[in-house]
Structure 1
Amino acid sequence: MATVVGTQSRAQGADHFFRILAIIMAFTVVAGFSVQYLAGRSSFGARTLVHIHGLAFMAWVGLFVAQAWLATHGPISLHRRLGWIGAGWIIVLLLLGSLITIDVVQRGMTPFFFQPQNFLIANPFSAIMFAALAWTAIRLRRQTEWHMRLHICAMTTIIGPAFGRLLPMPLLVPYAFEIAGIVSLIFPIAGMVHDLRKHGRVHPAWYWGIAATLSVIPVSHIIANSALGDAIYAAVTAGHAGAGVPGMEFGPPPQMPPS
């Protein structure tokens, strides 16, 4: 009984700020993809891989919010069981994130405000940083302060596509990719401000999370602009429509249909 009471007490005493932040992040994702649908730039007629990818990542968003809620309201036992499901689900997201990126590049359908070769490198690397942060958060589950913050940072690494659908990306060329990633940092920065106001110091987990998120920008550019990047792009696009698309050039904006 003492153990049950203790875990429930920890759940009630957890910082509700993280639950609120998780909900705002989930709302950002839903808003970003809803805007695309309402604007007619996406539909439910997409190919199967797109639907599987979307469902898998939306399921993660739902799990992310549910875990933040359970951490503050309990039961902690359910939070822990779902955490192990999440640990395995990360592998699914890694695979699907890479597959959809490869599929888009092979079809020559990379959004025109991204360089296809950089897109091919950056997206999987973002997924790797997400997995690294999320698995580290799970490993440090008994160190609650690290656990909560690293999960927020992990979500930050994959929320860029949502911001990419909310920001005027065509107007941000040639820095659209970088700006979407930097804007995503609003969430860990909010956490840092919260720490300063509540504890008088910034927890080091935020610095690690921001460093991991920002690392995607220079690392992807270095690889994409190298002979290795050229080789990867050539191997992935060989025999596909994407082979005829210059890897390090921005594509032309889509033609508007005549009125």
Structure 2
Amino acid sequence: MQWGFYDSYTSQFPTFENATTVIHIHGALLMAWLVLLVIQPMLIYFKKAKLHRTIGKVSYILGPLIIISMFLVGKGSYWRGVDVFSEVENLGFMALDIRGLITFAIFWALAMGYRKKSAAHMRYMIATAILAIGPGVGRGLVASFDLPLFTALTITDILDLVIVGVLLGYDLVKKNDFKPYLTVFLLLLGGSFLWQINESNFWQNFASYYVELFY
């Protein structure tokens, strides 16, 4: 994440000329979520299940706040892009924000819904971490190797699918419940497809309607 966001965010400290208050809040919320994803399995490993459950209650507040921040960041990105990109490009970029918002919301809701079924809960929480690969690694590939954004995010989409595919295959071989990772794989595949057709009439019409309805 720091590799990907260094040029566009971290390196601007302390002025952050190109960042809004919403972007700051969004970044802080997501970093808090990633810290939570590191701490929680460690607590289980060290047999601190009670503390794990206590800290886990933060997810009920943090999750919805992240979802709201994702929506607001997407809205801000669209309006900042109006005078910079063509309408087709600007509506195309919305595929990133909308798919991120929807998939995070679904994975968070499923993780909370399956909180008493640890195997499924764990897998959906891992899925929320995998969503961070695209924004972090994608921007890193663009900044370090001067790749086009479309190419960089196509690479990270493939990486996401490979990781989840391996985890799904492991569950199938071990005869574990494969439905969580299958759900994650299919949702990520759908999001990847939307990025590939972001300039199609279907997506452009949908994104235009979304802007009229929500922005």
Structure 2 length normalisation: TM-score? 0.77
Size of the aligned set, in residue pairs, is: 205
Q: Which residue is equivalent to 1:191?
A: 167
d(CA) in 1 for partners of 2:76 and 2:46? Answer: 41
* Identical counterparts, % of pairs: 23
Alignment counterpart, residue 52 of structure 1, candidates 25, 28, 42: 25
Q: Which residue is equivalent to 1:164?
A: 138
d(CA) in 1 for partners of 2:134 and 2:106? Answer: 17
Query: Residues 78-108 of structure 1, C-alpha deviation per residue, up to 9 Å, x if partnerless?
Result: 2112222202211100110111121122012
Query: Residues 130-186 of structure 1, C-alpha deviation per residue, up to 9 Å, x if partnerless?
Result: 121122122212222212112111222343101112223752454443333222335
Query: Residues 209-235 of structure 1, C-alpha deviation per residue, up to 9 Å, x if partnerless?
Result: 111122123346478634332233467
Q: Which residue is equivalent to 1:140?
A: 114
Q: 1:193 to 1:73 in 2, by over 3 A?
A: farther
Aligned-pair CA distance for 1:36: 5.2
For structure 2, list consecutive stretches of 5 or more residues without a partner in the other structure. Answer: none
Q: Does residue 181 in structure 1 map to residue 157 in structure 2?
A: yes
Aligned-pair CA distance for 1:203: 2.7
Q: Does residue 98 in structure 1 map to residue 76 in structure 2?
A: no
Query: Residues 26-59 of structure 1, C-alpha deviation per residue, up to 9 Å, x if partnerless?
Result: xxx3443346567x5x444233222111111101
SS at match of 1:141: coil
RMSD of Structure 2 on Structure 1 (CA): 3.3
d(CA) in 1 for partners of 2:204 and 2:93? Answer: 14
For structure 1, list consecutive stretches of 5 or more residues without a partner in the other structure. Answer: 1-28, 238-259
d(CA) in 1 for partners of 2:105 and 2:181? Answer: 16
Q: Which residue is equivalent to 1:210?
A: 185
Q: 1:172 to 1:108 in 2, by over 3 A?
A: closer
